[in-house]
């Protein structure tokens, strides 16, 4: 029977979430390092070819995440908007500085 109240997370739940976040952050750093080393080996290819291949790979990975229910279509769209903004309007860019002026 449900009481309609939200259970208060225990300290064990908080510690588990913190541990999971730490493990995830470590995995992200490890993956980034591996991809960085791969990028060094791909330097002999044109940047356009690397970008297209990486884009196709990203498309496949995001499709798997969606199929597995790890994220929603809206979450993928938001990720792609953020991704695009990071490329076209990096922090501290001239475009950002110009838009901040009156």
| pLDDT tens digits, 64-80 | 999 999 999 999 999 99
Q: What is the pLDDT of residue 12?
A: 56
**Rounded distance, CA 45 to CA 39, Å?**
10
**Rounded distance, CA 26 to CA 20, Å?**
10
Quick check: 6 pLDDT over 80?
no
**3-state class percentages of the chain: helix first, strand second, coil last, to nearest 5:** 75, 0, 25
pLDDT, mean of residues 81-99: 75
User: Does some domain include residue 2?
Assistant: no
Q: Which helix (H) or strand (E) holds 68?
A: none
pTM of the complete model: 0.63
For residues 52 and 102, membership in a common domain is answered with yes
For residues 39 and 88, membership in a common domain is answered with no
For residues 101 and 78, membership in a common domain is answered with yes
Q: What is the pLDDT of residue 5?
A: 47
Residues 13-72 have pLDDT tens digits of 555 566 688 898 999 999 999 999 999 999 999 999 999 999 999 999 999 999 999 999
How far is Cα of residue 88 from the mean position of the Cα atoms in its chain? 17
For residues 26 and 55, membership in a common domain is answered with no
**Rounded distance, CA 101 to CA 46, Å?**
38
Report how many domains make up the chain.
2
**CB 89, CB 96: distance < 8 Å:** yes
**Rounded distance, CA 7 to CA 94, Å?**
48
User: Does some domain include residue 5?
Assistant: no
């Amino acid at each position: 029977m449900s009481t309609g109240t939200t259970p208060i997370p225990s300290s064990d739940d908080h510690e588990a979430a913190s541990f999971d976040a730490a493990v995830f952050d470590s995995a992200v750093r490890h993956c980034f390092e591996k991809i960085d080393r791969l990028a060094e080996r791909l330097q002999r290819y044109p940047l356009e070819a690397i970008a297209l291949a990486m884009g196709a790979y990203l498309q496949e990975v995001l499709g798997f995440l969606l199929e597995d229910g790890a994220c929603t279509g809206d979450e993928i769209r938001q990720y792609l908007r953020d991704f695009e903004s990071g490329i076209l309007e990096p922090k501290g860019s001239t475009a950002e500085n110009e838009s901040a002026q009156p």
